[in-house]
Chain A
Amino acid sequence: MGNHSDGTPTSSDAVAKAGHDEVDKFQDPGLAPHRLRLADTDPKAAKRAERQVAWLFIISIAGTLLFFVAYFGIRLDDTFGTLRLQNTFLGLGVAFAMLGIGTGIVHWARALMPDHEVAEERHELRTEEDRLAALKIVDDIIDETGIKRRPLIRNTLIGAVALAPLPAIAIFRDLGPLPGDSLRHTLWKEGERLARDPDGTPIKASDVTIGSAFHVIPESLNSLEHGKLNAKAKAVVLLMRLDPQDLNPSEGREDWSYNGIVAYSKICTHVGCPVALYEQQTHHLLCPCHQSTFDLTQECKVIFGPAVRPLPQLPITVDADGYLVAQSDFHEPVGPSFWERG
């Protein structure tokens, strides 16, 4: 008995039994006796609390005034300095205005309002009498409609109500066009020059030194009248130059690069973030959103992270003027997978 409850309670019969014994239970002693606060017994303390509450309200008034001083007194002169200053003092003003009222009221309630806890009986959520009465009402209503006796009405009503919402679904059809094959094409086509993102100046093969990387758009992108972002969201490309020995092109892709210069879609095959980080030393491309990592030396095969497919490669070559151009569009859809992708 000296070592009372340190053992496993399940192994102790005495303990397990104790919970089941309704008689051997501590009885509720009722609410603890009320303890008076200082302000209840000492009029001086009460007066002091009163003054404190009043001061808090005065601080609130000062806070509101501070807001107006900051709003009208600080002139925005198109610099961050004044903007920050005004923002800070607007915040301080409102904070004092609100905290003064809030702390004042709470202090008032805690120090001066009665703090006797009271008990209130809970009443039943429903009585059996109510339940029976409600049941009878429902029965009467159903009976008066006669819906059980007239199945023809019931069945046609069910049919009508089931069909009626369909237009509400169909009417949303024009939210957007159908996909068609738009996800399979980009701006790239034979002879389209590779240009710098965002200014659109074309890139010469001789500009691309070993180890460098370019963010690339199709040259014709910036002259688009409409849908520039849509086109850009599919067409952006990363251009890098490696030592040709580091590239290991598979069959049929040997001539997709030029002098070690390769171009890959910048849109992650996971959920479409731009794969913007190029680790020059390891030849890895990293997507900053979910850390999918692609290995340039293995045709951008996924070596880490949630992506499955390699980044699609854009076949490139040079034109007569020495500018880098696309041989064709991508040979597969770029970006995240979709059901119809195949």
Chain B
Amino acid sequence: MSAVTETPFEPTTTTGRITNFVDERVGGSGMLREFGRKVFPDHWSFMFGEVAMYSFIILLLSGTFLTFFFDPSMAETHYNGPYVPLKGVEMSVAYSSSLNISFEVRGGLFMRQVHHWSALLFVAAVAVHMLRVFFTGAFRKPREMNWVVGGVLLILSLAAGFTGYSLPDDLLSGNGLRIIDGVVKAIPVVGTYISFFLFGGEFPGTMIIGRLYMMHIMLVPAMILLMLVIHLFMVVIHKHTQYPGAGRNDRNVVGYPLGPVYAAKAGGFFFIMFGIIAFVAGFFQINPIWNYGPYDPSPVSAGTQPDWYIGWVDGALRLMPGWLFNIPMEWHIPLPWGTNTLSFNVLGPALIPAGLVFTALFLYPWIERWVTRDNREHHVLDRPRNVPTRTAIGVAGFIFYCVMWAAASSDLIATHFQVSLNDVTYWLRALFFIGPIVGFIVAKRVALALQRKDREIALHGRETGRIVRLPHGEFQEIHAQLDDYKRYKLVGYESPVPEEGIPNENGIVTKKENLRSKLSSFFFEDRVAPATPSELEAGHHHEAVEAGDDDKAITH
């Protein structure tokens, strides 16, 4: 050991000399020693985060290409390109340059489609990644802060999507901006001013595209990049979570070393994703702006749809009734200086559902930690079935989201299925309230049923499908016992019982503690305990007895 440190290293090859040069100046060998063989657990559901990161990289690459040709000016021009139906039509320079990218820049249309498809995929991957983290309990200590960073990334990805969506200044995205303007104006006191500052005067003005462009290509991606770095930095500090199984616990991390296997798989996956996006961009048209025409406040096409990730807010706007049993949802408030207008029919659906979802999302790790009083570090994930109440809460939230999302396509649902648009809206309004409750109950029951199934398999083995007839005439299905490794996966979880309120130092159970105890009951009361060795032992014994008993039928 000492001999090695005392003799200065003499590189012999060219590569050796270059790496040594770097190493002597920045200390790369220490880093390589730390990370070169860092262990990463492997599971298909860990890919969603990778998908998000890789689609972001593809967005940066394709987006940079597009900036070389796009001109965000809203100055008026007359189209003079090859697309005949729009020849001579008055339009903004932004729209005209988007057409130019599509029709005259070779590969421009391809890059636009790559960019748009990756954007849709990016937001989807962030969202699905968060669902994975939620349902497996990966947000628990010590990862709560990283969960919050993830939530911020979700919001930023929505912002990136929306600011980009409006840039081509086509009819469809212009109507989207018009809706934003309407929502902004509904904000009490400052709404009108914010609208005028945002658009540089009255809607649509001549400023908004340039301002959104700056946010889209600089501010928002820079913030995403910053958050991404923080996110990954924390992943390195915490090391990755792992699914439960034999040999895996909260003190270790089991998986493949970064070099070579994990790096190869993850790196290869980037190219696979790029390939899939390129394939989709080559074959499936998206956002054909030339069909929509330039923005004009007068026309609108029927069946307009926002990009999928904005759908839930748009759907909430559609679901809100303007009049509730002859009570208007817009109120005129008499104030000393005159009457002011509060447009709850716009403000309510625009802010309340999204506010609820994001507040619940950000606070959930702390709420669960308080209710369960679980302040331990967790590195082994929960299988969703093993925490039925959390899983049910997640499903309820997901359905709440999906009802609003479906509402954004209420008109298309009506035309495709030949049903009344009004009925679709009424049903969705009912589902908005009932859906999450039903989803909660069903998800919880399904989780409990799956847990019981796990117990059954752990104790009695799996069904082999082989029916044997015993000498005395009885038919029996042979069950094959699991090996220890597979069984441990089914039984290696915790199932705490609800907690009574704990008195404080004065011997009093405070109201807050009482509430916590009630929530603890809510969280844990329907529980299935993991199978135990003594049950397994009893089961073996019992089967042996039953197999020899002529009178009893086997009821497995």
Contact = CB atoms under 8 A, between A and B. Distances in A.
B317 A16 contact: no
Contacts of B302: 276-277, 288
Given A28-B249, A292-B322, A308 B282 contact: no
Given A95-B276, A179-B196, A114 B253 contact: no
B239 A122 contact: yes
B474 interface: no
A91 B279 contact: yes
B203 A233 contact: yes
A233 B496 contact: no
Interface in A294-342: 302, 304-309, 335-342
Interface stretch (A81-89, A133-141, A155-163, A240-248): A81-89
Contacts of A100: 275
Contacts of A341: 340-341
B181 interface: yes
B197 A91 contact: no
B271 A102 contact: yes
B468 interface: no
Contacts of B276: 95, 99
A277 B257 CA distance: 61
Contacts of B456: 4-5
B179 A273 contact: yes
Contact of A306 (B280, B296, B322): B322
Contacts of A168: none
A271 B425 contact: no
Interface string A201-232: 00000000000000101000000000111101
B187 interface: yes
B325 interface: no
A289 B193 contact: no
B109 A337 contact: no
Interface stretch (A39-47, A143-151, A170-178, A255-263): A170-178
A304 B422 contact: yes
A269 to B, nearest CB: 9
Nearest to A1: B542
Interface string A1-14: 11111101110001
Contacts of B503: none
A122 B275 contact: no
Interface in A85-134: 86-92, 94-106, 108-110, 113-115, 117-122, 125
B502 to A, nearest CB: 17
B323 A308 contact: yes
Interface in B60-87: 76, 82-83
B369 interface: no
B529 A15 contact: yes
B330 A288 contact: no
Contact of B535 (A18, A125, A176): A18
Given A102-B272, A272-B182, A336-B186, A229 B199 contact: no
A126 B265 CA distance: 32
Contacts of A252: none
B256 A232 contact: no
Contact of A24 (B272, B532, B542): B532
A266 interface: yes
B338 interface: yes
B527 A119 contact: no
Nearest to B182: A271
Contact of A113 (B238, B261, B421): B261
A157 B165 CA distance: 44
Nearest to B189: A339
A97 B277 CA distance: 12
A273 B175 contact: yes
B345 A306 contact: yes
B44 interface: no
A179 B197 CA distance: 9
A120 B203 contact: no
A109 B264 contact: yes
A272 B317 CA distance: 13
Contacts of A16: 497, 527, 529
Contacts of B192: 179, 183, 338-340
Contacts of B181: 271-272, 336
Contacts of B238: 125
Contacts of B203: 230, 233, 272
B268 interface: yes
B330 to A, nearest CB: 4
Given A117-B254, A276-B299, A177 B201 contact: yes
Interface string B245-280: 011011111111100110011011111111110111
Contacts of A97: 275
B495 A289 contact: no
Given A288-B303, A291-B410, 20 more contacts: A4-B539, A25-B530, A32-B246, A87-B281, A88-B283, A90-B107, A105-B271, A114-B261, A120-B38, A175-B197, A266-B298, A267-B297, A272-B178, A272-B181, A273-B179, A289-B300, A291-B411, A306-B329, A337-B341, A337-B343
Which 9 A-B residue pairs are closest in the complex by CB-CB distance? A91-B282, A271-B182, A102-B271, A105-B268, A99-B275, A102-B272, A98-B275, A31-B247, A19-B529
Interface of A: 1-6, 8-10, 14-16, 18-21, 24-26, 28-32, 71, 76, 78, 83, 86-92, 94-106, 108-110, 113-115, 117-122, 125, 172, 175-179, 182-183, 197-198, 215, 217, 227-230, 232-234, 236, 266-267, 270-274, 276-277, 288-292, 302, 304-309, 335-342
9 contacts: A8-B526, A16-B529, A26-B492, A109-B261, A125-B377, A177-B196, A274-B298, A307-B345, A337-B330
